[in-house]
C-alpha cells in the first residue's frame, strides 16, 4: 500500500487508543453505526442538536456528517459541527445520502461542501450526481456500478480537494491524484440498511487515528469492511444473520489478518 503505516497497524492503533468520533448520522443508522465503531475499537457519540454540535466537534477527534434523515434543525447542527471541525483542523467526513432526490437535500449538500469536508464517502449513484453527472439512484439505493463512478470521483476529489470513496461491489478511493480499488465484502451488505452510513462513521474513526494519512485511513476503513463482510457471509443464512455476524467479524478482526487479507490494488 502507499501509506507509511498499514491498514492493520491503524486498526491496532485505534484499539490501543480509542478515538472519540462525533457522528451526526440518520435515525436508521445510529444504532448500527455506534455498534460498528465499538466493535472496531472506536468510541462513538451521536450528537446532532444545533445547541451543542459545534461545541462537541471541538472535543471529538473527528466528525462524520450524514444527511440521511435531514431536517432544518439537524442541518443547523451539521453546519455548526463542520465549521468547528474545519477551524480546528480536524478531519470531517461527508456522506451525501440521496442528495439528488430533493431540492432541500441538494441545497444542504451544497452548503456542506462549501465547508470543505476532508473525505466524502458515498455509493456510486451519489458520487456520479455529486460530480454533476446523471445518476440512476433511487432514494438511498445506488443503481450504478462503481466503475461508472470512478471518473466522477476523480473530478470531485480535484474540485473539492478532498478524498473521495465510492462503495459498491468493488470500492474505489481517490484523492484526485492517487487511486485504489478494494475488493471483498458480500452481496448481502446492501441488503442490510445503513451499512454504508456505518462505514462513513468508521472512516471518521480511522481518520481520527491517522490524521496524517487520510488516504490510508480511508482505505483502511473500507478494507476492514471488505474483510469482515467476507467473514460474516460465510455462515449467514440471509441479511438478518449477516448483520449480527458482521459485528462479530469486525470485533474478531486483528491487524495482522487485515493486512494479510485486504485486497487493495492501485487503479
**Of 62, 164, 197, 228, which one interacts with ligand TZE (CB under 6 A)?**
197
Comparing every residue's Cβ against ligand ATP, the nearest one is 196
- Of 33, 189, 205, 220, which lies in the binding site for ligand ATP, with binding defined by CB under 6 A? 189
* 211 CB-contact burial (10 Å; exposed 0-12 / middle 13-18 / buried 19+): middle
Per-state percent for the chain, helix, strand, coil, to nearest 5: 50, 15, 30
The contact mask relative to ligand TZE for 128-167 (x = CB under 6 A, - = no) is ------------x---------------------------
Using CB under 6 A as the binding rule, whether residue 199 contacts ligand ATP is answered as yes
Number of helical H runs and strand E runs in the chain = 11, 9
Stretch that binds ligand ATP, among 102-110, 153-161, 190-198, 243-251 (CB under 6 A): 190-198
Q: How far is the CB of 196 from ligand TZE (least distance, A)?
A: 6
Candidates 18, 19, 54, 68: give the one binding ligand TZE (CB under 6 A): 68
Q: Is 196 in the site for Mg ion (CB under 5 A)?
A: yes
Q: Which residues, 6+ apart, have CB-to-CB distance to 104 below 8 Å?
A: 70
Alpha-helical segments (H) within the chain? 7-16, 30-40, 53-59, 72-87, 103-114, 124-130, 150-160, 195-209, 214-235, 239-252, 255-261
Q: Which stretch binds ligand ATP (CB under 6 A): 43-51, 172-180, 222-230, 251-259?
A: 222-230
Instruction: Give the residue among 66, 31, 24, 30 at the shortest CA–CA distance from 47.
Output: 24
For residue 219, the SS3 value is helix
CB of 228 to ligand ATP, least distance (A): 9
- Asked if 61 and 84 count as a contact pair (C-beta separation under 8 A), the reply is no
Residues engaged in binding ligand ATP (CB under 6 A): 97, 123, 140, 142, 167-169, 171, 185-187, 189-190, 193-197, 199, 225-226, 229
Residues engaged in binding Mg ion (CB under 5 A): 97, 196
Amino acid at each position: 500500500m502507499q501509506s507509511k503505516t498499514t491498514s492493520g497497524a491503524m486498526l491496532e492503533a485505534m484499539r490501543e487508543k480509542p478515538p472519540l468520533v462525533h457522528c451526526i448520522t440518520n435515525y436508521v443508522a445510529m444504532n448500527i453505526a455506534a455498534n460498528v465503531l465499538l466493535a472496531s475499537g472506536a468510541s462513538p457519540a451521536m450528537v446532532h442538536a444545533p445547541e451543542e454540535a459545534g461545541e462537541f466537534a471541538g472535543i471529538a477527534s473527528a466528525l462524520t456528517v450524514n444527511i440521511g434523515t435531514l431536517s432544518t434543525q439537524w442541518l443547523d447542527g451539521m453546519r455548526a459541527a463542520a465549521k468547528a471541525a474545519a477551524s480546528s483542523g480536524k478531519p470531517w467526513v461527508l456522506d451525501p445520502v440521496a442528495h439528488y432526490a430533493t431540492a432541500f437535500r441538494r441545497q444542504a449538500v451544497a452548503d456542506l461542501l462549501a465547508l470543505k469536508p476532508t473525505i466524502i464517502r458515498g455509493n456510486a449513484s451519489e458520487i456520479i450526481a455529486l460530480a454533476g453527472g446523471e445518476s440512476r439512484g433511487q432514494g438511498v439505493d445506488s443503481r450504478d456500478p462503481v466503475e461508472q463512478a470512478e471518473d466522477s470521483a476523480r473530478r470531485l476529489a480535484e474540485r473539492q480537494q478532498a478524498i473521495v470513496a465510492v462503495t459498491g461491489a468493488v470500492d474505489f478511493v481517490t484523492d484526485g491524484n492517487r487511486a485504489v480499488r478494494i475488493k471483498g465484502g458480500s452481496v448481502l451488505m446492501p441488503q442490510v440498511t445503513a451499512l454504508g452510513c456505518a462505514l462513513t462513521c468508521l472512516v471518521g474513526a480511522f481518520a481520527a487515528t491517522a490524521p496524517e494519512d487520510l488516504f490510508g485511513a480511508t482505505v483502511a476503513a473500507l478494507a476492514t469492511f471488505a474483510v469482515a463482510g467476507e467473514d460474516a457471509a460465510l455462515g449467514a443464512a440471509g441479511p438478518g444473520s449477516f448483520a449480527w455476524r458482521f459485528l462479530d467479524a469486525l470485533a474478531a478482526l486483528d491487524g495482522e489478518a487485515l493486512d494479510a487479507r485486504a485486497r487493495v490494488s492501485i487503479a
